[in-house]
């Protein structure tokens, strides 16, 4: 593959809003496997492979919605609590075909700094997202404060030191949806050569 082809795929990757996803359209097990294989090739220090994913599809999406509601209550001061947001939390997971919890599982030996483990998980998500984009499958990374709450970590059964880094909404775009575009910015303005 030439660099131009890789660059094209990278530039094509977009976040697809869950509201534009066809929640009923199946994602084959074969495709899920390809997505997680792509994730699994992410760079990671000392090969700790800290990424973990839990896929909630079908009725299991209800559990995520309920856990988000509990976590929202936990993470939101009473004065800021909004009933509308609370109700939406239960419905949101049903907009996508599946919701995938992104987890950084801490290596018990703590052989590398935590920031490196988080970076490795983000790389894994990027790989997965690129693979999904290549076949036109929509992905949206969502990280409301509720996903960082202790009750949400307990819901996911996280081990000591592990962290949830948000949720991926995954689904095929509804028929007629146009793939979003993004205005590019000046890449070289963020680079210094010395
Ligand atoms: C770590 C991380 C967390 C994110 N959390 C949210 C979020 O909570 N809500 C949201 O609207 N977008 C979230 N996004 C997606 C960004 O909004 C999106 O990547 C950005 O708008 C650029 O669009 P693109 O992905 O289509 O290039 C998140 C992205 C990352 C990398």
Residue 6 is predicted with a pLDDT of 96
Q: Is the pLDDT of residue 1 over 90?
A: no
Q: Which of 12, 132, 141 to mutate to test the pocket of ligand 1 (most atoms within 8 A of CB)?
A: 141
pLDDT given for residue 69 in this prediction: 98
3-state secondary structure of 57: strand
CB 159 within 8 A of CB 83: no
Whose CA is closest to 122, among 141, 147, 96, 100? 141
How do beta strands 21-22 and 163-173 pair?
antiparallel
CA 89 to centroid of ligand 1, rounded, Å: 18
The predicted structure's pLDDT at residue 57: 98
Residues with CB under 6 A from ligand 1: 14-15, 141-144, 166, 182
Digit-coded pLDDT (tens) for 152-165: 999 999 999 999 99
Q: What is the ipTM of this complex?
A: 0.98
Give the closest residue to 23 by CA, choosing from 62, 76, 54, 49.
62
pLDDT of residue 111: 95
Q: Domains of the chain, with CATH numbers?
A: 3-175 (3.40.109.10)
Pick from 75, 85, 104, 143 the residue to mutate for probing ligand 1's pocket: most ligand atoms within 8 Å of its CB.
143
CA of 142 to the centre of ligand 1 (A): 7
- What tens digit of pLDDT does each residue of 77-126 get? 999 999 999 999 999 999 999 999 999 999 999 999 999 999 999 999 99
Provide φ and ψ at 98, rounded to 5°: -150, 155
Instruction: Give the helix/strand (H/E) hosting 34.
Output: helix 29-40
**What is the Cα gyration radius of the chain?**
18
CA of 60 relative to ligand 1 center, distance in Å: 24
Helix (H) or strand (E) holding 38: helix 29-40
- For the segment 5-48, what is each residue's pLDDT rounded down to a tens digit? 999 999 999 999 999 999 999 999 999 999 999 999 999 999 99
């Amino acid at each position: 593959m030439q660099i131009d082809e890789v660059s094209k795929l990278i530039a094509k990757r977009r976040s697809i809003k869950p509201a534009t996803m066809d929640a009923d359209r199946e994602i084959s097990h074969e495709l899920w496997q390809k997505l997680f294989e792509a994730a699994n090739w992410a760079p990671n220090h000392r090969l700790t492979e800290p990424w973990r994913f839990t896929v909630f599809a079908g009725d299991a999406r209800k559990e995520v919605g309920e856990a988000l509601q509990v976590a929202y209550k936990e993470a939101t001061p009473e004065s800021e609590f909004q009933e509308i947001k609370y109700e939406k939390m239960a419905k949101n997971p049903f907009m996508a075909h599946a919701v995938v919890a992104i987890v950084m599982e801490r290596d018990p030996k703590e052989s590398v700094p935590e920031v490196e483990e988080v970076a490795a998980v983000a790389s894994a998500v990027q790989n997965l997202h690129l693979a999904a984009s290549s076949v036109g499958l929509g992905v949206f990374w969502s990280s409301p404060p509720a996903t960082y709450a202790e009750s949400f970590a307990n819901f996911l059964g996280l081990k000591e030191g592990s962290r949830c880094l948000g949720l991926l909404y995954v689904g095929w775009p509804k028929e007629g949806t146009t793939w979003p575009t993004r205005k590019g910015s000046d890449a070289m303005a963020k680079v210094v050569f010395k």
